[in-house]
Amino acid sequence: MLSDSQIKDLELTAVKIRESIIEMLVAAGSGHTAGPLGMADVFTALYFNILKHDPKNPEWIERDRLILSNGHIVPVRYATMAHAGYFPVEELLTLRKFGSRLQGHPERDKMPGMENTSGPLGSGLSQASGMALGLLMDGKKNRIYCAMSDGELDEGNSWEAIMFAGNRKLSNLTAIVDRNNIQIDGTTETIMPLEPLADKWRAFNWHVIEIDGHNFNEIVDAVNQAKAIVEKPTVIIAHTIPGKGVPEIEHDFRWHGVPPGSGPEDVWKKADQESAMLKELRTLQGRIEGGHLD
């Protein structure tokens, strides 16, 4: 179990990452809001507690690999990497600019520490499975993590990779599914129902763990459980809230693919969206610092 001080530090870091996400999306004038905010806690746990990595030596041979399959949520990865020390936080404001290393979908050869290029949904788990198999063949102990969305499980390629990894018993592979129940056109269960999702993964010989994707103890404990599973790969189905941290936009699929300043105006006018969201996050930060987080 994490100590109270560790949890508080992680919670405060996640708030800073969410603030950076808002600021960089506004500076870019485009990008995705709901998913990056929803996955901030998972990425904070990965970079600040779980992953074996070195921001000063991104190509360290002993590092764990984090594959991002749903590349459209890359603002959360950029923000987390910057706060972890991979590059200056100020560079986040170059998101989606011409010549920037921080493109709207990640490019592996532009950013040290970015393990894969992604954009087309459904491809990341295949990339992760190939890396995991290669490491096992070489007798290496590095672990592979693959962050992916629930919506991209509509893609057949995802299930080919799930079948392959289960068949090859890739115990060094952990998939983390962002189960936020939304995609660009609505809810996942309306567009293309996924349930019973856990049973589907089990049918392909995966160990399944379901967690609250905003509970740091559960995130870290699930990864530790995965490390103890030696006969099959593990999937962590992380139940998250899209737009987490800004209550007015939480669970609203309309914020899937738009940045603050371009979103629905039923809560705030476009011109007020950035300041209102940052105010909510700074209020949250104050509650955490004061020990009043519900």
- Number of structural domains in the chain: 1
Given a cut of 90, whether residue 27 has pLDDT beyond it is yes
pTM: 0.97
Given a cut of 80, whether residue 294 has pLDDT beyond it is no
- Side-chain-side CA neighbours of 22 within 13 Å: the count stands at 24
Angstrom distance (rounded) from CA 164 to CA 130: 10
Given a cut of 90, whether residue 85 has pLDDT beyond it is yes
* 121-148 confidence digits (pLDDT tens): 999 999 999 999 999 999 999 999 999 9
- Domain-embedded: residue 247: yes
Angstrom distance (rounded) from CA 107 to CA 104: 9
- At residue 291 the predicted structure's pLDDT band, cuts being 50, 70 and 90, is confident
Mean pLDDT across 167-194: 97
- Domain-embedded: residue 54: yes
Q: Residue 215 has what DSSP assignment?
A: -
Mean pLDDT for all residues in the chain: 97
CA 215 to mean position of chain CA atoms? 14
Angstrom distance (rounded) from CA 114 to CA 67: 8
Mean pLDDT across 19-32: 98
Residue 188: domain span = 4-289
- Domain-embedded: residue 294: no
Mean pLDDT across 28-52: 98
Which CATH number fits the domain that encloses residue 143?
A: 3.40.50.970
Q: Which pLDDT score, from 0 to 100, does residue 1 have? A: 86
- Domain-embedded: residue 203: yes
- Domain-embedded: residue 206: yes
- Domain-embedded: residue 114: yes
